[in-house]
């Protein structure tokens, strides 16, 4: 899955203000001779080989189902890939913006689908876990209307969904039913069953190519980084909060972090032994040390129910231990993000923060 060129992506661009038949005519005129095809049709979930303009119940007004027309709707891409896909996306944005009535309002959103060959449930688990861990970071680059809404709900506080994802043992297709199969989350797994893609719904509505491009690249890099991220640092959360009972199933979160990095953590009397991928013993730690890896007593040996339930954070000592064994630096939100995209995100966060401060003044 590593690398943007190896991923397929699709976007759904919601907009308001303009009649869809007029948007279709404008875009077809602007794209004449480019080979990029745009067509208006009735609302559907079918993947097309062309860009389709359809109504959307969350943004469309004065809908006429008979002729698939309305004021406002969405334009949905075919399957795109790599730089060629971004180039086509830029053409579409320019053509869409050529219509003077097209605008964005608070109801509009931008939805991104990503997929890659040989996708595994472990990869999806890692992505969901890290998105929940760093949800505050994603929120900081979004307007307030996209930080928690009916169309893109928080996931970091939705413990049932996170528990379902972490404990899922079925197929990738079956993973779409985690958390009741609700698609209106910031990270939507429902498309896994039909398209084999994961959907990111949090971005605010926009027809600006630079914003869309940077979101596509950000999430592509984030997915890559989610496969190599090793530890939680300081206040960062490890989202797994299910329970493993008995000595052979204890310390689920610590064990999972080691397992994600190619190690195995086995109980041995009152100690725990950590083996590398070659089966060599690399470290022995006591049960008391395992408890101390959880920050602020989040996992306590004298708890009434000795189930070793997950705590929200780990100590710096634990982060340093995993880093020393794996060579991986402590995880951060911007880990693995290409510099130009990280710079864009930083500027956007600053801009939104300044706007919020002015509004509060």
Q: What is the mean pLDDT of the chain?
A: 85
Going through the chain in order, the beta strands assigned E by DSSP cover 7-19, 38-40, 51-54, 61-64, 69-76, 80-81, 110-116, 187-188, 198-200, 264-268, 271-275, 281-286
Q: Kindly report the CA angle at 251 between 242 and 262, in degrees rounded to 5?
A: 100
Q: What is the pLDDT of residues 335-355, one digit of tens each?
A: 889 999 999 999 999 998 877
Which pLDDT band holds residue 194 (cuts at 50, 70, 90)?
Answer: very high
**53, 24 contact by CB (below 8 A):** yes
Give the H/E segment covering residue 133. Answer: helix 121-133
Lowest mean pLDDT among 20-24, 96-100, 189-193, 322-326: 322-326
Which comes out higher in pLDDT, residue 227 or 10? Answer: 10
Report the interhelical angle of 209-225 vs 339-360 (nearest 10°). 120
Closest by CA position to 101, among listed 56, 76, 71, 75: 71
First to last CA, the chain: 46
* Nearest-10 Cα torsion for 3, 141, 329, 339: 50
Q: Does residue 307 register a pLDDT over 50?
A: no
pTM greater than the 0.85 cutoff:
no
129 Cβ contact partners less than 8 Å away, ≥ 6 residues apart: 162, 165, 166, 226, 238, 239, 240
The pLDDT value given to residue 329: 57
**156, 133 contact by CB (below 8 A):** yes
Place of tokens 């130009």: 340
Q: Which SS3 state, helix, strand or coil, does residue 45 take?
A: coil
Structure tokens at 20: 């869809």
Q: What is the pLDDT of residues 126-180, one digit of tens each?
A: 999 999 988 989 999 999 999 999 999 999 889 899 999 989 999 999 999 999 9
The pLDDT value given to residue 299: 56
Which comes out higher in pLDDT, residue 10 or 234? Answer: 10
Task: Return the DSSP state at 205.
Answer: P
The pLDDT value given to residue 251: 74
Q: Does residue 292 register a pLDDT over 90?
A: no
pLDDT (average), residues 257-261: 75
pLDDT (average), residues 296-308: 47
User: Which percentage of the chain shows pLDDT scores above 70?
Assistant: 81
């Amino acid at each position: 899955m590593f690398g943007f060129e190896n991923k397929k992506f699709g976007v759904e661009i919601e907009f308001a203000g303009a009649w869809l038949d007029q948007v279709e005519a404008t875009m077809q005129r602007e794209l004449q001779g480019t080979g990029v095809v745009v067509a208006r049709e009735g609302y559907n979930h079918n993947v097309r080989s062309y860009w389709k303009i359809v109504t959307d119940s969350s943004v469309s007004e004065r809908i006429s189902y008979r002729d698939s027309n309305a004021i406002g709707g969405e334009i949905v891409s075919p399957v795109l890939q790599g730089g060629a896909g971004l180039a086509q996306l830029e053409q579409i944005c320019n053509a869409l913006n050529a219509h003077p009535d097209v605008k964005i309002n608070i109801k509009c959103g931008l939805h991104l689908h990503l997929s890659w060959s040989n996708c595994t449930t472990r990869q999806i688990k890692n992505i969901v876990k890290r998105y929940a861990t760093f949800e505050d970071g994603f929120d900081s680059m979004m307007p307030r209307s996209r930080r928690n809404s009916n169309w893109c709900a928080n996931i970091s506080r939705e413990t049932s969904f996170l528990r379902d994802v972490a404990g899922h043992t079925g197929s990738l297709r079956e993973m779409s039913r985690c958390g009741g199969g609700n698609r209106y989350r910031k990270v939507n797994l429902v498309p896994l069953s039909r398209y084999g893609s994961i959907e990111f719904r949090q971005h605010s509505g926009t027809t600006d190519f630079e914003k869309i491009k940077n979101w596509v690249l950000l999430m592509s890099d984030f997915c890559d980084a989610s496969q190599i991220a090793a530890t939680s640092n300081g206040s960062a959360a490890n989202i797994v909060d299910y329970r493993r009972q008995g000595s052979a199933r204890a310390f689920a979160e610590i064990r999972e972090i080691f397992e994600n990095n190619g190690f195995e953590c086995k109980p041995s009397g009152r100690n725990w032994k950590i083996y590398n991928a070659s089966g060599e013993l690399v470290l022995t730690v006591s049960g008391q040390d395992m408890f101390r890896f959880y920050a602020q007593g989040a996992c306590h040996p004298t708890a009434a129910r000795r189930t070793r339930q997950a705590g929200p954070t780990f100590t710096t000592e634990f982060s340093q231990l995993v880093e020393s064994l794996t060579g991986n630096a402590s995880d951060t939100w911007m880990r693995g993000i290409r510099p130009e995209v990280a710079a864009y995100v930083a500027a956007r966060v600053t801009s939104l923060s300044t706007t919020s401060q002015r509004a509060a003044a």
